[in-house]
Amino acid sequence: MSEDTFRIVVTVAVCLASLSMIIQAGIVFGIFRTIKAVQEKVNHITDRALPILETTRRMLDEARPKIDELTSTALEVAVIAKAQVVRIDELLIEATDRARLQIARFDGMLGDTVDRVQETTAAVQSTLMRPVREVNGVLTGVRAALSVLTRGNRASVDHATQDEEMFI
């Protein structure tokens, strides 16, 4: 390669490198402008958000003792409520046990009462009804005897036969 060709190649390379640097400088300048615009928007948003954040922080600082107090009160109420629920549960268990015992006693008493009523009914029937039946039988016999005696005429054999035929 001749020296003139070498110089031309080096000159072209230097020109390309210079052009490349100029393009890179333009791109960096564009990036700088974009970053500057984004920074202005962020600053604008930050300016608007800072008072809101300060107000929120101040509200949280003011509310923190109240929140702590509410939390502790809620915890105390939960502990008391749990104790009450345990007491009510024990009371219900005790009442249920007592009710079961009373029902068992009542059932036993009712069974005994029914048995005694049945025994009494049997005793009354055997004690009172037998004499009543006997008296009734005697009275029936007396009535029949009186009926026969008061009727004086006896029915003829024909009449008695007719009565018997009716039952046959």
In a domain, 82, yes or no: yes
pLDDT, one tens digit per residue, over 120-145 is 888 887 888 778 888 888 888 888 88
Q: Could you identify the residue written with the tokens 């008391």?
A: 80
Whole-angstrom distance, CA of residue 124 vs CA of residue 79: 66
> How many domains, in total, are found in the chain?
1
Q: What are the tokens at 124? A: 């009354």
- The residue that leads in pLDDT, 161 or 129, is 129
User: Is the pLDDT score of 19 beyond 60?
Assistant: yes
Segment 79-98, tens digit of pLDDT: 999 999 999 999 999 999 99
Q: Cβ contacts of residue 25 below 8 Å, gap of 6+?
A: none
Kindly state the tokens that stand for 58. 């101040």
What pLDDT score does 9 carry?
A: 93
Average pLDDT along the chain: 87
Q: Which two tokens stand for residue 161?
A: 């036969």
| Residue 104 included in any domain | yes
Sign of the CA dihedral with 155 first, then 160, 162, and 163 last: positive
Q: Which domain holds residue 56?
A: 3-145
Alpha-carbon distance of 117 to 123, in angstroms, equals 10
> Is 24 within the bounds of a domain?
yes
| 162 domain residue, yes or no | no
Give me the amino acid identity at 44: H
Q: CA 29, CA 133: separation in Å to the nearest integer?
A: 137
In a domain, 153, yes or no: no
Q: Give the integer Cα–Cα distance in Å for 104 and 52.
A: 73
84 inside domain? yes
CB within 8 A of 163, min separation 6: which ones? 155
96, part of any domain: yes
Q: What is the pLDDT of residue 21?
A: 95
Q: Which residues contact 23 (CB under 8 A, 6 or more apart)?
A: none
pTM of the model: 0.39
Domain for residue 168, yes or no? no
31: its two tokens: 């990036």
Taking only Cα atoms into account, the Rg of the chain, rounded to an integer number of angstroms, comes to: 62
Report pLDDT for 100: 93
